[in-house]
Structures are given as structure tokens and as C-alpha cells.
Chain A
Amino acid sequence: MTAALFFEQLLNGLQFGVTLFLMAAGLTLVFGVMGLINLAHGSLYMVGAFACAAVAAATGSFWLGLVASIVAAAFAGALIEMTVIRRLYNRDHLDQVLATFALILIFSEGCRFIFGSFPLFLDVPAILAGPITLPGGLPYPIYRLSIIVVGGLVALGLYLLIAKTRLGIRIRAGEADREMIAALGVDIRTLYTIVFALGAGLAGFAGALVGALQSVQVGMGEPVLILAFVVIVIGGIGSIKGALIASILVGIVDTLGRVSLPSLFGLFMDPSAANSIGSSLSSMLIYVLMAVVLIFKPEGLVSQNG
């Protein structure tokens, strides 16, 4: 592999990691504040993508679609928080897993009921289409570069939100001591709804960004959801900083693994067997990474308690 190609794959890994971060941030935020494990996070990602595709098709504007994705997912998030999720905060994780698993079934079939079974069209806006030449003569898709930038901005925004704003203070207080914050007269119910909607909006935003690059269809949230869980477990559940580190780690390990493992095996076996075994192993690689991390740090890289 040449240095330029290696650098390009590194960028690809970073970009993949950033999209994972957008998913994982909401998931880990909700867990950190409310102690809730939400399998339906992938459904909110799907809601965002469908909203963006529908609005973009109706108005012709990707940007309006992007706004719609955040609004729709945040709205859907607030709705399920007030009707279902709220009842789960004091339950054990098993109940949370099952209730949100039920929500996946409801969202997926509901979405198919409304939009039909065929994938929807959603493309990157014209201004971001095509490649740009990076220093060094490497052509790279503008849209992917934009995702990296946007992901960085979201990470920064979340940091500022949590570190500097009144809402952030409450969120941190909520993580540390729930009784205390209620005693201080903060309306905890509203706070939880806002945090949940914020996480949902992030997921919807990620769905729209990624939907334009990939495909908008029912069930698109599930593979990403599982990856996002891997990310937050590696990062340490509840930690946004951990989620950022872990997403980039997972993105880069996965990308480099799938390009280099087959050729690595090719060094000492025949090419088609190497291809086959190399790609089998690379599809398992991030789970291996997760297992290794948990063996040495059972609470993830950035432990909430440490």
C-alpha cells in the first residue's frame, strides 16, 4: 500500500468513525443521564433519513431535508419519551431492552406502512457532489470530507453545551445525583425529555447525512445500532469523550482491517483462500477489539466512575 492510499484509507476510517460518533453520542448521553439503554436509537436514525428523503423529494432541497431530519427525529424521540421511555427509568435493563426492542418492531413496520417497501432516493446536494483534490494530489469526495468537519463541529458543540451552558450543568448534575437535582427545583421530567430529544435529533441527523451517502430503507438503523453499542461499550457507557475516542478507533480499525487483512493472509496462502479468510476475520475484527478492551478495562476506555 502506498503512503497516499494509506492516508486515504485513514481518512475513510476517520469519516466512518465520525458517523458512528453521531449515533453513539446520543446513545451514550441518554445512558449517562437517565441510565437507559435504548435499542430504538437505530429507529430514530431511520426516521431522520426517511424525513430527509421525503422533504428533499418534496421541496428539492437537501438542506430543508436535513433540518426536517433533526426536527422529525427529535419530535419522535420526545413522543416516545413521554409515552413509553419515561416509564422505564426505574426498571431494570431487561425491561428497557425489551420495550425498546418492541419499539424497533413498531417503528420499522410503521415506516414501511407509510413509505412502502422500496428504498427511497436521497442524494448529496450538488454543491457537495464529486471529489476535491487534497494537498498531495489525492482526490477525495467533498461530501465525506464535510461529514468529518460536521462531526467535529458536533463534538465541539456537545462539549460546549455540556461544559458551558445552564442545560449542560443540569445534565452533569443529573448524571451525578438525581435526587439532588430534583431537590434543587429543576424539573427533572422536562430535562429528561429534552436530553432524550437531543439524542434522538443527533441520531436523525446522522441518519440523513449517512442516508444521502448510502441508502434510505427500512431496517437501515439496525446494523449501525449494533456498531454504536460496540462503540459506547468500548468507550465506556455514559462518556461522550469515550464515545468519540472509541468511534474513531472502531472506524479506523474496521477500515484498515478490511483492506489489509486479505493481503496480509495473501502473503502465506493462495489469494482466493486469503480473500475469503481475510474478509471473514475482518468482519469480526471490531468485536474482537471490543472483547480485548473489556478484558483489560471492563468498564470501557473512559470509565465514568474513574
Chain B
Amino acid sequence: MKHLKKIAASALALSLAATSMAYAGGAKIGMITTLSGGGSGLGIDVRDGFMLAINQSDNKDVEVVIEDDARKPELAVQIADKMIQSEKVDILTGIIWSNLAMAVIPSATAQGKFYLSPNAGPSPLAGKGCHPNYFNVAWQNDNLHEAMGAYANSVGYKNSYILAPNYPAGKDALTGYKRFYEGDLAGEVYTKLGATDYAAEIAQIRASGADSVFFFLPGGMGIAFMKQYAASGVDIPVLGPAFSFDQGILGAVGDAALGVKNSSQWSKDLDNEANKAFVASFQEAYGRLPSLYASQGFDTANLILSALEGADVKDADAFRAALKVAEFDSVRGDFRFGNNQHPIQNIYVREVVKEGDVLTNKIVGLGLEQHQDAYAQECGM
């Protein structure tokens, strides 16, 4: 609870200092994120990364309003209405889940607000539904899976068994993997969303004769799968996106995750100054290692701050242009936007390792270089 108080205190300081120290233009930012219930670890990381950047900034005219959506789409919509109608925010951000993003973003951008996504990147918003006021600072949903497909080719896997939960993001994940993977499929399985027992699937995997297993099972599903997979004695190598092997979750998976290759656009050991400073200051501020989500929150805040230096948020065209050039020191190194305002970036392959007693990731290769998502050409911008 310590850091919560700190945020509250600094938010107060920010609003008090609102009239003095005009360094760059101010802005009111509304953050809607998941702070309670299942999956709240992700929202807390995004918030903490975001607020770290805001607190480190010299710009004291930025005010952030944070509210909890409890992972409920209808609540997220209500909060968005409130932030737009009552709080009169200029920019919205913070949503973790694609289904909440689809509920909030189209109507927010239609009302002339800016939305910067620190996590979700549903395909409709990258393709036909792209919008000048919508920027994605994380990835398009398929990206990390595509990188894993490319990696599977590069190490010579020819017969993958792939599985994901039976919902749109799960289908996007397997589609993304298949878009780049060139080998055969030993099996393609959709599991029940929220399932936590994978004995039946693991038995199928053992019997399938696959040479690799690709899975996308976010949250508790992935923890359960990895532990059960390790206990089953099946030794087919496992691949997955970073979500099931990220800092917030590794502790719960335990040694079962050791050696697993996973794809991510960011890693703790990425060698650039911004990242080193971010990792050190995050650890100092919150007493834990930053996760992928924290890095995305941090980048989102820094992107907004960089744009505020050059343009007034009330001048939508100028501010949009300032966002689009993305002149900030991203913790992932090179970062630029494509025509649909989704990132064009490197996606790395990481391996889960142990540093002392702590499980973490280190980069072992490059999955896709300067990768742009598959929907960009459908976007009319």
C-alpha cells in the first residue's frame, strides 16, 4: 500500500503545482485499468510504470486520474463516460484487456479524445477500425505470437502442437503463430477460457508426436499449464509469448518455466540507457523487478510527456503529429509508429533463467526485426 499513498501524494503535489513552473504544456490524463479482481497484477504494473515516468518528469502540469475497471467492460465504459463528461480529461489510457479496449476506445476516439493503449491491441483497431486519435504503444495482439512462429522456423521445428483458450485473443494468437510458422501442425486445440486443468491436453500432446508446443494461456491458465506440463514428464520444448513468462508471473510458475523460450518486445536486460535507468528506478520505487507491462506503462507516459513538450494537447492536430513522431527514449530502444499508429519494433526471443534465487528472462535472439503488424495495409491512414 506504500506506493499507493505515494501516488496519491504526488498527484496532489501535481495539482497544487499546476499553475507554477510552465515547462511544457499540461494535460489531464484518465487512466482506466484493472486494479482489483483477477488479472489485477497487470493493471498495477501498468499503473506503476506509468506513474514512475510521470513522477520523474519535470512537467508538473500533468494530472492523472486513475480508476479501477475490475475487468468489467460495462464498468470501463461507465468510467470512460465519467472521465470524458465530468473530469474532462484530454487523454485516456490504461486498459489491459482487448474486450474492454473494444468497448471503450471506438466511442472515446469518436468523441475527440486521444487514447494511448499501454497493453491491448485488438486487430479491428489496427486494420479497418484504425483512428487518428488512437495510438498503440504496446503491440498489435498478433505480434508476439508471430515472432514465436518465425523463431520456430529458425530453429527448425517442423511439427508444432498449438493451443490457446477459446476466445478471440486466443484465436488471434494461433493465427499469428501460423502466419509465420511454416511447418506442420501436430494438433490445434482451443481450451475453455479460465480452465486450469490441462491433464487431457497434455496427454494429447504426448501422443501427438509433436516436436514443439506453442501455447498462449494468459494469467492463471498459463501458470497451471506450465506446472502440470513439467510434472507430466513430457519433454517436448515449449514456446510462448512473454505473457506467461513475465516477471509478475514467473514467481508463481517456479522452476517449471526454466529454459522456456518466449517472445517479447522488451526485456530487463535490453542494453540501452533508458532501460537501465528504468529498471533501476522501478526497483527502487516499488521494491520489485519491472515487468513487460510496467515497461509499456512507462513508455506510454514518456510518449505523452514528449508530445506535450512540442504541442498543446488542446490543439489536436499538432498534438497528434507530436505523438506520431514518437521522439522519446523508449526502454525498448528503437520505437516508431507505422501508418496505423501501431509500433514497428524488434521482437526478441528470451529464455527464462535464474539469477541467484530469482527467475527472470534474458535475451537469446531476435524473433522479428522492425516488425509491423499484418493489418496495417487495411488501415486507411
On A, residues with C-beta under 8 Å from B are: 2, 5, 8-9, 12-13, 15-16, 108-109, 112, 117-124, 129-131, 139, 141-144, 210, 212-220, 223, 255, 258-259, 262, 271-272, 275-276, 279-280, 282-283
Contacts and interface: CB of A to CB of B under 8 A. Distances in A.
B190 A275 contact: yes
B272 interface: no
Interface in B196-231: 196-197, 199-201, 203-204, 206-207, 219-220, 223-224, 227-228, 231
Contacts of A259: 200-201, 203-204
A124 B248 contact: no
Given A118-B41, A123-B254, A258-B200, A217 B220 contact: yes
Contacts of A112: 36-37, 40
Nearest to A283: B192
B251 interface: yes
Given A9-B203, A213-B224, 16 more contacts: A5-B203, A118-B41, A118-B249, A119-B219, A123-B254, A123-B255, A130-B233, A131-B233, A212-B227, A213-B227, A214-B223, A215-B224, A223-B194, A259-B200, A276-B171, A283-B193
B38 A219 contact: yes
Given A109-B36, A119-B252, A124 B200 contact: no
B191 A258 contact: yes
Nearest to B197: A16
A12 B190 contact: no
Contact of A16 (B41, B199, B252): B199
Interface of B: 35-38, 40-41, 44, 166, 171, 188-194, 196-197, 199-201, 203-204, 206-207, 219-220, 223-224, 227-228, 231-233, 248-249, 251-256
30 contacts: A5-B203, A5-B204, A5-B207, A8-B203, A12-B200, A13-B200, A16-B199, A118-B249, A118-B251, A119-B41, A122-B252, A129-B231, A131-B232, A131-B233, A141-B199, A141-B233, A144-B199, A212-B227, A213-B228, A214-B196, A214-B220, A214-B227, A215-B196, A215-B252, A223-B196, A255-B199, A258-B200, A272-B188, A280-B166, A283-B192
A218 B37 contact: yes
A109 B38 CA distance: 11
B192 A279 contact: yes
Nearest to A133: B233
Contact of B252 (A2, A118, A210, A279): A118
Contacts of A119: 41, 219-220, 223, 249, 251-252
A106 to B, nearest CB: 13
A13 B203 CA distance: 12
A121 B192 contact: no
B71 to A, nearest CB: 10
A119 B228 CA distance: 16
Contacts of A109: 36
A139 B200 contact: no
Contacts of A271: 188
8 closest A-B pairs by CB: A131-B233, A215-B223, A119-B252, A214-B224, A12-B199, A117-B40, A214-B196, A215-B220
B190 A124 contact: no
Nearest to A4: B207
Nearest to A259: B200
A283 B166 CA distance: 10
B contact patch SS: helix
Contacts of B194: 223
A118 B41 CA distance: 5
A203 B206 CA distance: 32
A4 to B, nearest CB: 8
Of the candidates A117, A123, A210, A219, the one having the most CB atoms from chain B within 10 angstroms of its own CB is A117
B200 A121 contact: no
A239 B207 CA distance: 38
Nearest to A272: B188
A196 B196 CA distance: 27
Contacts of B219: 119, 217
A262 B189 contact: yes
A278 B189 CA distance: 10
Given A16-B199, A118-B251, A141-B228, A2 B220 contact: no
Contacts of A210: 196
Nearest to B291: A118
A48 to B, nearest CB: 15
Contact of A15 (B199, B207, B223, B232): B199
B231 A130 contact: yes
B189 A9 contact: no
Contacts of B220: 119, 214-215, 217, 220
A86 to B, nearest CB: 29
Given A275-B188, A276-B166, A141 B38 contact: no
Contacts of B191: 258, 279
A125 B199 CA distance: 18
A279 B166 contact: yes
A131 B228 CA distance: 11
Contacts of B200: 9, 12-13, 255, 258-259
A223 B195 CA distance: 9
Contacts of A212: 227
Nearest to A142: B231
A119 B251 CA distance: 8
A216 B189 CA distance: 25
Contacts of A215: 196, 220, 223-224, 227, 252
A138 to B, nearest CB: 9
A118 B248 contact: yes
A123 B201 CA distance: 20
